[in-house]
Structure 1
Amino acid sequence: MLDLSQLRSFVAVEQMGSFTLAAERLGLGQSTVSQHIQRLEAALGRRLLARDTHKVMLTGDGEALLSHARAMLSIEGQVQSLFKSHSLRGSLRLGVSEDFVTSQLPAVLEDFVRSHPSVDLELTVALSGVLYEMQDNGEIDLVLAKRRLGDARGKLVYREPLVWLARDPERVLASGPLPLIAFPPPSVTRVIALEALGRNGVPWRIVCTCGSLSGLTAAARAGMGVLVQPRSMAPSGLKEIPAGKLPVLEDVEFVLVPRKGADQALVSALSEDILQKVRGLRSA
């Protein structure tokens, strides 16, 4: 029978890409996590992880094990929850900004769902401004979204630089008025980009508007124009336009904003998971 502690260490290493960060997340010593992986590999007779100087990656056998490991840990969480009178129960309405969903949300939610199987999540994906409006109307309990520098709402998760992106920066910059690909209002990145261009007298025109990041990314990959995104969330296939070619963009901050009157136990549990997971991913 496979040891659940060993599987837990295996999944944590895969999530964090590091034995050190996995140990911190689990509250274990790094040597303990290493022993768990060694014993798991010995029990299965297969090498599960490939290590180099930069990160830890799954081997083919590790990839084959991962979904089964997650399923076993999920069942463990459900059983523990069933017999814990103090386990969290109920529903929580979570709003997440469009760009965060495609990059980091799966990793953020995985541990929470496993640890709290009796909590039902209702997920809303939209622009940050739309999410704040919905929360003001009582429709969302917790928002994970962007705010501008100087905005005091919410608890800071991390700060991120915005960058200009294009498939072919030289061609786009030589095309006359700068062709922009942008979210519709109310969009934080749109406002920041237009303000920066206006302050510096750069002529522009919006060539594509879409409320979906996948749509904007497709337009940018097709070479239609320039897209503004947080640097760590830059879609593949696009290049960052070199410094000095376009105005410097203001940073944005990702924050957690709870709704007054929401279930504080549920909000606090998910907020803590998000803070711990996102900061761990960014330090990896």
Structure 2
Amino acid sequence: MSNLNLDQIRSFLAVLDSGSFTAAAGVLGVRQSTVSGHIARLEQALDRPLLMRDTHRVAATPDGQAMIGFARDLLEAHDRLRAFFSPSGLRGRIRLGVSEDYTLSALAQVLARFADRHPSVDLQLTVGLSRTLYQGYDAGELDVIFCKRRRGDPRGELAWAEELIWAGRPGSLPDPALPVPLILYPPPSMTRALALDALEAAGRSWRIACTSGSLMGLRAAVEAGLGFAPHSARVMPPGLAPIPKSAGLPAIGEVEFVVLGSGHQHPIATALKETILASTAELQAVPEP
């Protein structure tokens, strides 16, 4: 099979979407003979008839029906690639909401690359708790959010999932005879809700020892030995240590990190989403001490 040509694929979809070769030529801004030639060469490359033609209509053959999904995926991937690597052409404002969890990651470098590629885009950044970011997105105050997936909400493209475990000061363990002292984000934190749900389900008593809206504040409280906090199992910074399972604290579970954007009608949002999703390995890397 010969290599496929994207212009031919665009013509194929335009014919089916518009219903005729003449209409497809108008949509694409080319002559009808060009569209006909594209279809003929595409069918030759695939060695399959893709369209059935008569004097009244154009319809896809069974192979043509199978081709539609592949064709749309190819064009979408091509458009996403161009949006990702385009050094210019996008203009306007994009409002990005980012979970507090990423403030100590490589996010700054990722956003700097986006700004370099799209110098005419005004990037406005909001950092907050995931639930608050969802509220802002649903209210139309944010165009893209990068945060934990809200329970029961299927929206968003998965960046990665990771396990949450309990962390404390090295050498410290919870006293089984006392309520567990907790160091948590304030409501409506998703991590807070997961931790409290796990403790309630296990019948383990608890008390709030420290509340902070800052990841640095939470870590400082843990390092000071004020209590225990849910933390990513993937990376444990200096001054914190995982609490062994033998200590009796219940498993917290996994969280999913997603990117949620405004869709293809917002090309800047699409470009920003693709930049973030293409940088997941970098964002998950353990920061240098």
1:222 matched to which residue of 2?
224
Residue 161 of structure 1: SS of its match in structure 2?
strand
Matched, 1:138 2:144: no
Q: Partner letter of residue 252 of structure 1?
A: V
Deviations 1:165-189 (A, max 9, x none): 1013534446721100001111111
Matched, 1:252 2:255: yes
Q: Structure 1 residues 107 and 276 mapped into 2: Cα distance closer, same or farther (>3 Å)? A: same
Q: Partner letter of residue 252 of structure 2?
A: L
Q: Partner letter of residue 259 of structure 2?
A: L
TM-aligned CA deviation for residue 158 of structure 1: 0.5
Structure 2 Cα separation of the partners of residues 99 and 229 of structure 1: 10
Q: Partner letter of residue 160 of structure 2?
A: Y
Q: Partner letter of residue 241 of structure 2?
A: K
Structure 2 Cα separation of the partners of residues 237 and 155 of structure 1: 33
Contact 1:148-1:252 at 8 Å conserved across structures = no
TM-aligned CA deviation for residue 282 of structure 1: 4.2
Q: Partner letter of residue 179 of structure 1?
A: P
Residue 114 of structure 1: SS of its match in structure 2?
helix
Residue range with higher mean Cα deviation, 146-155 or 128-137? 146-155
* Larger Rg, first or second structure (1 or 2): 2
Structure 1 Cα separation of the partners of residues 225 and 101 of structure 2: 20
Contact 2:105-2:283 at 8 Å conserved across structures = no
Q: Partner letter of residue 258 of structure 2?
A: V
TM-aligned CA deviation for residue 112 of structure 1: 1.0
TM-aligned CA deviation for residue 111 of structure 1: 1.8
Structure 2 Cα separation of the partners of residues 151 and 274 of structure 1: 20
Structure 2 Cα separation of the partners of residues 234 and 186 of structure 1: 24
1:170 matched to which residue of 2?
172
Structure 2 Cα separation of the partners of residues 185 and 99 of structure 1: 15
Q: Structure 1 residues 236 and 275 mapped into 2: Cα distance closer, same or farther (>3 Å)? A: same
Q: Partner letter of residue 222 of structure 1?
A: A
Percent identity over the alignment is 46
> Structure 2 regions of 5+ residues with no counterpart?
1-85
Q: Structure 1 residues 270 and 233 mapped into 2: Cα distance closer, same or farther (>3 Å)? A: farther
Contact 2:160-2:258 at 8 Å conserved across structures = yes
Q: Partner letter of residue 219 of structure 2?
A: T
> Structure 2-normalised TM-score?
0.64
Aligned residue runs from structure 1 range 79-94, under 5 A: 87-94=89-96
Aligned residue runs from structure 1 range 1-150, under 5 A: 87-148=89-150
TM-aligned CA deviation for residue 95 of structure 1: 0.1
Structure 2 Cα separation of the partners of residues 101 and 256 of structure 1: 16
Q: Structure 1 residues 237 and 170 mapped into 2: Cα distance closer, same or farther (>3 Å)? A: closer
1:209 matched to which residue of 2?
211
Q: Structure 1 residues 175 and 92 mapped into 2: Cα distance closer, same or farther (>3 Å)? A: farther
TM-aligned CA deviation for residue 148 of structure 1: 4.9
> Structure 1 regions of 5+ residues with no counterpart?
1-79
Give the superposed CA RMSD: 2.3
> Structure 1-normalised TM-score?
0.65
1:39 matched to which residue of 2?
none
TM-aligned CA deviation for residue 233 of structure 1: 4.8
Q: Structure 1 residues 193 and 169 mapped into 2: Cα distance closer, same or farther (>3 Å)? A: farther
Structure 2 Cα separation of the partners of residues 280 and 187 of structure 1: 25
Correspondence for 1:237 among 225, 231, 239:
239
Which of the pair is proportionally richer in helix?
1
1:269 matched to which residue of 2?
271
Q: Partner letter of residue 184 of structure 1?
A: P
Q: Partner letter of residue 163 of structure 2?
A: P
Contact 2:105-2:285 at 8 Å conserved across structures = no
Contact 1:168-1:239 at 8 Å conserved across structures = yes
TM-aligned CA deviation for residue 151 of structure 1: 3.4
Contact 1:103-1:233 at 8 Å conserved across structures = no
Structure 1 Cα separation of the partners of residues 280 and 210 of structure 2: 31
